[in-house]
Amino acid sequence: MKQGGEVLSLMLTILLCIFWTIPVAFVQSISNVEGLTGLLPFLKEPVEKYAWLSEALSVFAPLLLVIFLSLLPKILLVFVKFELGIEIETFKHPSLFVKLAAFSIIQTFFIVSYAHINE
């Protein structure tokens, strides 16, 4: 039972790591208003008409990224609970630390490097 929970936790973490890049890439595209208006042409007119919209999108993107990053430990804590080794909600669990470290390394080095190669 415990091994099944560990495998489930690992698979969910891998899936999260893969699909996490989609919303993060979207948030990064919001911060680049010129790129966003290129992707979504209907935004070009409002951005040109209202100068504050460009600044608001530039400020909103980092805030949204901070929200995503603050939710990450809570999501991974749910996955760690499948391992049946944790009984109370605590952020001092070794498996959670390993998952956060692996997630950060993969996102920082491999995904970002891959994205820069494809630009």
Q: What is the 3-state secondary structure (H, E, C) of the chain?
A: CHHHHHHHHHHHHHHHHHHCHHHHHHHHHHHCHHHHHHHCHHHHHHHHHCHHHHHHHHHHHHHHHHHHHHHHHHHHHHHHHCCCCCCCCCCCCHHHHHHHHHHHHHHHHHHHHHHHHCC
Rounded CA gap, 60 and 57, in Å? 5
Q: Could you give the number of structural domains in the chain?
A: 1
Instruction: Tell whether the model's pLDDT for residue 118 goes beyond 60.
Output: no
What's this model's pTM, rounded to 2 decimal places?
0.69
Find the Cα–Cα–Cα–Cα dihedral 70, 71, 76, 81, rounded to 10°: 120
Q: Which residue in this structure is represented by tokens 């909600």?
A: 89
Domain with 42, as residue range(s), is 2-117
At 39-79, the pLDDT tens digits run 778 878 888 888 888 888 778 878 888 888 889 888 888 88
Residue 12 confidence (pLDDT): 92
